[in-house]
Amino acid sequence: MAIFSPQVMIYDSLSGKKIPVPNKKGHVGIYVCGLTVYDNMHLGHARLFVVFDVLRRLLRKSGYQVTYVQNFTDVDDKVINRARELRTSYAEVAKQYIESYFKDADSLNITRADIYPRASEHIQEIIELIKAIERKGSAYKTENGVYFRVSSFPNYGKLSHQSTENLRAGARVEVDPQKEDPLDFSLWKFHKDDPYEPAWDSPWGKGRPGWHIECSAMSMKYLGETIDVHGGGQDLIFPHHENEIAQSETATGKLFARAWVHVGLLSVGGEKMAKSLKNFTTVKDALSKWGPDAVRLFLLSSHYRSPLPFSEDAMNSSAKQWIQIEQLVAEALHHGTRETPPEDAQQLSKAAQEASSSFARHVSDDLSTQLAISDLMSFAATAKRIVGKLDGLTEALAQDVLSALQPAEDVLGLRFPQPLDELEGVVQRRFELRKNGQFEEADNIRNQLAQGNVVLVDHRDHTIWFRSSVPDAHKYLATNKS
């Protein structure tokens, strides 16, 4: 069994170094920027949430207490525009896609956050934060709203490691001729008599919060003025996270986050997977085609900070890999009773220990899941050779197999096939039919089970079986035919 050290290292985007995961006496507070809820989640979003699910699982396995907060942005131009398209309220749009998110996330075995704050439920906290910024002289009012004065924050650009001159040159200017600086960003937007736009009373006038201030207010409410880990996609470094730092540290005079963790983007043909580019694959579509475990395996197949190219071939490869793991688990669940040859016991036991140790080392070193998966697949290849040699697993070897693979469930969040004891009689009957040369009847049973995505693997003196989480698993695995 893998032993996980409390020394978990993570790459901090601010310092540009790997550092021990910040904590307060063994407690880690994590805030992750969640979905803007105006559409279904796609695989690019899912990568972010799967990576942080693995980090959370690893920290808990390593002895930490974790408070995990992941927001929903339900007050935003995109939500309002979708409400206008559908001729409904922003709240109804948000409700629909929050429910959709939970269905997808649960299917992917993403552990639910401790808190899911919504911007619409934290207007008072947002107003108080803007007032604190205003007292520091860093906010000003125009006809359109209240803006943060970037020039008042000397360290602006420290997260993206760019000068304000460079950032200003590439800034997307909000349409407001009264802005002092192209980099200045909205804290509060005044209402424009749009029936689809929500609005709240404030000291500056009726309106709604800007995007950046929402996350600062919500993260500080639940995790304090200095949080341990703040995360999101790499596309949020600028301007979202840069702006969060500026407004938060201006308001409190304290460090906002002790570590910034950013996840690389999913790409299609060299471009970011995005709704705007219409090159995305929704989680729902991916689940229906490849199943949750193959999808998770794919999303963890590259280091989280690296870009991850999406393709059908890559997804099919992950599906094949996962079925190999499923089959190996099934071999362990339906092991034989004969004695284990000493040389095989020694070889597999050593391989299991090495795989477990290497897995723990790799995931604890900046979440190197791609290396951890390689460890598992290398062990699976060793175990497969021994299965072939012995025509199955013995009880002693089965325990080594399950011990080596267990971190795949505990940390990577993959789900092993469960014992299908209710099929034992059917599988045994088919085995006897084959033994007696009644192959047509045996084929009928195999075909019936295949309709339920049950995979059969025949050995000389027994058959193993499992229900794969990969839809139509038989096309990926050449099973022994009757």
Domain boundaries, the chain: 9-263, 294-475
Average pLDDT, the chain: 94
Q: Is 414 helix (H, G, I), strand (E, B) or coil?
A: coil
- Domain 294-475 is found in CATH 1.10.3720.10: no
Give CA separation, 323 vs 174, 293, 476, in Å: 50, 9, 8
* pLDDT score of 479: 40
Q: Is 226 helix (H, G, I), strand (E, B) or coil?
A: coil
* pLDDT score of 482: 39
* pLDDT score of 173: 52
Confidence category of residue 1, pLDDT binned at 50, 70, 90: low
Strand bridging mode 145-148 / 139-141: antiparallel
Q: How far apart are CA 56 and CA 365, in angstroms?
A: 14
123-135 vs 242-252: helix crossing angle, rounded to 10: 70
* pLDDT score of 284: 97
Q: How far apart are CA 381 and CA 463, in angstroms?
A: 20
Strand order in the sheet with 227-233: 65-70, 27-32, 227-233, 257-263
pLDDT digits (tens, 9 = 90+) for 347-386: 888 999 999 999 999 999 999 999 999 999 999 999 999 8
Q: How far apart are CA 419 and CA 371, in angstroms?
A: 29
In the numeric block, the tokens 């050779």 are attached to 385
The answer to whether 214 and 187 have CB atoms below 8 angstroms apart is no
Q: Tokens representing 335?
A: 């092991």
CA dihedral of residues 248, 249, 250, 253 (deg, nearest 10): 130
* pLDDT score of 278: 79
Confidence category of residue 276, pLDDT binned at 50, 70, 90: confident
Q: Tokens representing 69?
A: 């907060």
State the average pLDDT over residues 116-125: 98
Confidence category of residue 169, pLDDT binned at 50, 70, 90: confident
Q: How far apart are CA 482 and CA 465, in angstroms?
A: 14
The answer to whether 26 and 384 have CB atoms below 8 angstroms apart is no
Give CA separation, 247 vs 147, 186, 229, 242, in Å: 10, 11, 17, 9
Q: How far apart are CA 48 and CA 51, in angstroms?
A: 5
Q: How far apart are CA 77 and CA 358, in angstroms?
A: 46
* Of residues 438, 365, 456, 349, the one with CA closest to residue 402: 349
- Domain 9-263 is found in CATH 3.30.300.30: no
Q: DSSP per residue over 307-370, as a string?
A: -EE--HHHHHHHHHHHHHHHHHHHHHHT---SPPPHHHHHHHHHHHHHHHHHHHHHHHBT--HH
Confidence category of residue 176, pLDDT binned at 50, 70, 90: confident
* Chain centre distance of CA 180: 39
Q: How far apart are CA 4 and CA 63, in angstroms?
A: 9
Q: What percent of the chain has pLDDT over 90?
A: 84
Q: Tokens representing 334?
A: 């339906």
Q: How far apart are CA 132 and CA 139, in angstroms?
A: 9
Beta bridge partners of 282: 42
Q: Is the dihedral of CA 409, 413, 414, 420 positive or negative?
A: positive
Q: How far apart are CA 395 and CA 401, in angstroms?
A: 10
Burial level of 268, CB count in 10 A (0-12/13-18/19+)? Answer: middle
Q: Is 263 helix (H, G, I), strand (E, B) or coil?
A: strand
Q: What percent of the chain has pLDDT over 70?
A: 97
The structure's pTM equals 0.95
pLDDT digits (tens, 9 = 90+) for 227-268: 999 999 999 999 999 999 999 999 999 999 999 999 999 999
State the average pLDDT over residues 43-67: 97
Q: Is 58 helix (H, G, I), strand (E, B) or coil?
A: helix
Q: How far apart are CA 92 and CA 207, in angstroms?
A: 19
Mean pLDDT highest for which of 160-169, 250-259, 271-280, 461-470? 250-259
* pLDDT score of 382: 93
